[in-house]
Amino acid sequence: MTRNGKSDPGRELPEGTATPSTDKVRRAIVALADGRRISLADLPPTDTQRWVASRKELVAIAVHHGLLTAEEACARYDLSLEELEGWIAAWMRDGRAGLRISARRRPGARRGPGRPAGSHPRRGRGRDGT
């Protein structure tokens, strides 16, 4: 808009950006504390199949900072709300490191019932089992 209130066709808002006259104003760019800026163009493609920590982080940041709603993110990336909420919680708690698959594997998580922590069935045994 120009100063006289008329629309200037050369200064149109990018597609998907809310105008100030709408009830809900959407943020077009999010400035992060580390100086980075992200926009919808920076988000992973909608057909993403391999979710590495950096891609999960971008989606979590976008939802947390209002670039996307949780419902939009779930629809866009075919995620369940629980999965997305888990990403956001892990990101808020531990940053990108919390979104790595290995971060979910806590020590002892694969231990079977009745096996004490730190034990390994084959450790210290030779070929003959002693």
Predicted confidence (pLDDT) per residue in 56-82, tens digit? 999 999 999 999 999 999 999 999 999
- CATH code of the domain containing 91: 1.10.10.10
Amino acid at 88: I
Do the beta carbons of residue 48 and residue 77 sit within 8 Å? yes
User: Range of 61's domain?
Assistant: 50-105
Total domain count for the chain? 1
User: How confident is residue 95, by pLDDT bands cut at 50, 70 and 90?
Assistant: very high
Rounded to whole angstroms, how far apart are CA atoms 62 and 105? 26
Given a cut of 90, whether residue 129 has pLDDT beyond it is no
83 within a domain of the structure (yes/no): yes
The residue to which tokens 């200064």 are assigned = 11
71 within a domain of the structure (yes/no): yes
123 within a domain of the structure (yes/no): no
**pLDDT of res. 124:** 52
**pLDDT of res. 46:** 95
Given a cut of 80, whether residue 23 has pLDDT beyond it is no
Given a cut of 80, whether residue 53 has pLDDT beyond it is yes
121 within a domain of the structure (yes/no): no
96 within a domain of the structure (yes/no): yes
36 within a domain of the structure (yes/no): no
Do the beta carbons of residue 27 and residue 66 sit within 8 Å? yes
- Nearest C-alpha neighbor of 89 from the set 60, 113, 110: 60
Do the beta carbons of residue 5 and residue 20 sit within 8 Å? no
**pLDDT of res. 28:** 86
User: Which of 77-81, 95-99, 107-111 is predicted with the least confidence, judged by mean pLDDT?
Assistant: 107-111
